[in-house]
Structure 1
Amino acid sequence: MKRLPFLLTALIGLGLFGCSKTKTDEKMISTISREAFGELPDGQKADLYTLTNANGMTVNITNYGGIITKLTAPDKNGEWADVVLGFDSLPPYLAGHPFFGALVGRYGNRIAKGKFKLNDKEYTLAINNGPNALHGGTKGFDKQIWKATEINKDSIVGLELEYVSKDMEEGYPGTLSVKIVYTLDNENALNINYTATTDKETVVNLTNHSYFNLTGLKRDILDHEVSIMSDSIVAVDSTLIPTGKLRAVEGTPFDLRKPTKINLGINKIEDEQIKNGGGYDHCWVLKTSESGLVHFATVKDPESGRILEAFTTEPAVQFYTGNFLDGTLKGKNATYVKRFGFCLETEHYPDSPNQPQFPTTVLKPGDTYQTTTKYRFSAK
């Protein structure tokens, strides 16, 4: 896996993103607060942290699974609304959900048949998605209590989350020490910085699984206009495992290089890849840069004017359009029907441990896994 020591400089923006207070604006400050969020069956307690920037944007994060439970963004009239799917309380998260807002690990996305080899030794994972392993297993990082530390410095508020995944937890080798830092800046951007180290060679692919809906959770996302700066996707079979080949987007429903309404391509089931994913549930290959974050996607809701711009240092993104939501889950005054949210899960390619031609996800002792993703909100 490509190491990115320069990413520490990407978060120097922690001091640059902030707005200086003036004598006429002394009340406009960034804050962070904590409250009890509930208790797990084993007695562990979950907390909920509220990050608020100087503009009034708020992000709620719980140390249970590092889940983003709420994120507000302004529309073109300056009205704020929640734009992520989730729940108002802990019990629905404990009851099971499709990774709403969660930190995903140790390996985000799918691994074929729940098996991979490392140094000639085969490792077996939980099968939890058809015939394959998905998002770290039956009790992945999304179902753990993380150690939380509040950040409030230089006009930036944030939450540092730490978790130690023991050797062979969910079948993965090596004791993995993980640190995730969420920061909210005064450019209305949520920054997520991921780092990890291991004592034994392992595979790592971390991401956040937030479902966004820029209407303010009023209706589905089919009228959203999306652009993804990518020339190819990772082709997949009917179980969404990579075939090993990349497919050019030119002339296909996957060509989102210009702003395109989601509903124009998502139902073209005559395209085998769309049929396999039940819509968009594919990995777009991104152009990376040694200089840092790359702007890879923009999504806009034309009616509200809300815009999400996404940046990352990762080589790919899984663009998913809530194809498996079926209306059985309700939360925050909304019923989560099919295609009620979209995900931009920055990542390495799916099934990389079994695909030697893909960028490696192997992490070795002495190396540091490090990556950054940023979601910035605006309106016009």
Structure 2
Amino acid sequence: MRQHKLQILADEYLPVDESGIPRQGLKSVANTSFDFRMPKVIASEFLADDDQRKVKGYDHAFLLQTQGDGKKPAARLWSQDGKLQMMVYTTAPALQFYSGNYLAGTPSRGPEPYADWQGLALESELLPDSPNHPEWPQPDCILRPGEEYASLTEYQFIPF
């Protein structure tokens, strides 16, 4: 997984504490290991700073540039051998990138269980802890009686 190439079209991410809970506001990705605006190999800056080391890797929400425009890609992921690309489109304002930090012992399809970092997830969402942060630039996360919420996420796989 860490040899895959990833691009997340986001200018800000949400730092978390050791429990994975956001304890401060959004932070710019510029000049950090969280800058995936240009494609890069995940391992290139893996565990490179305290924001990652607190949770054994990436497990952070990124505020997307697309801001709900499901027609533009929010993220791209390329396999290590370059033979497969996954595109992520979403109407959600944020994307959680989880680098499989706590997969050890999880049953796999093979005889051995997974080890840490043997998988990843790109999960569309509202920013975590949103009810406590109405100032964050995203739609209101509180759904009142009679209101509806819908979000669409599409994963497109392109073989090369």
Q: TM-score, normalised by structure 2?
A: 0.90
TM-score, length basis structure 1:
0.39
- Aligned-residue sequence identity (percent) comes to 33
Of 65, 68, 78, which residue of structure 2 is paired with 1:300? 78
Where does the alignment leave 5 or more consecutive residues of structure 1 unmatched?
1-220
How big is the shift at 1:356?
Answer: 2.5
Counterpart for residue 259 of structure 1? 39
Going from structure 1 to structure 2, the CA distance change for 1:226 and 1:291 (only over 3 Å counts) comes to closer
> 1:277/1:350 Cα in 2 relative to 1: closer, same or farther (>3 Å)?
same
1:44-72 Cα deviation digits (max 9, x unpaired): xxxxxxxxxxxxxxxxxxxxxxxxxxxxx
Give the direction of change, closer, same or farther, for the CA distance of 1:257–1:288 in structure 2 (3 Å limit). Answer: closer
**RCO greater where, 1 or 2, for CA within 8 Å and sep 6 or more?**
2
Tell me the distance in 2 between the aligned counterparts of 1:233 and 1:337: 26
1:371 aligned onto 2:151: yes
Q: Distance in 2 between matches of 1:265 and 1:280?
A: 10
Matches within 5 A, 1:168-317: 221-268=1-48, 271-288=49-66, 292-303=70-81, 305-317=83-95
How far off is 1:287 after superposition? Answer: 2.3
Paired position in structure 2 for 1:330: 107
What's the CA shift string for 1:327-366, capped at 9, x where partnerless?
x223212531111111011000111122222332101122
Give the gaps of 5 or more residues in structure 2: none
**Partner Cα separation in structure 1 for residue 78 and residue 13 of structure 2:** 22
Contact 1:294 1:313 in 2 (8 A): no
Label 1:293 to 1:277 Cα distance change in 2 as closer, same or farther (>3 A): farther
| Aligned-CA RMSD value | 1.7
Pick aligned residue for 2:142 from 343, 362, 370: 362
2:65 aligns to what SS in structure 1?
A: coil
Residue 292 to residue 263, structure 1, CA distance change in 2 (3 Å): closer
Distance 1:304 1:227 in 2: 14
- Structure that is richer in strand per residue: 1
Residues 156-215 of structure 1 show CA distances to partners (whole Å, capped at 9, x for unaligned) of xxxxxxxxxxxxxxxxxxxxxxxxxxxxxxxxxxxxxxxxxxxxxxxxxxxxxxxxxxxx
**Structure with greater Cα Rg:** 1
Q: Shift of residue 238 of structure 1?
A: 2.6
Partner Cα distance (1:242, 1:250) in 2: 19
Q: Distance in 1 between matches of 2:77 and 2:143?
A: 33
**SS of corresponding position for 1:273:** helix
Q: Aligned partners of 2:146 and 2:71: how far apart in 1? A: 24
Aligned residues: 157
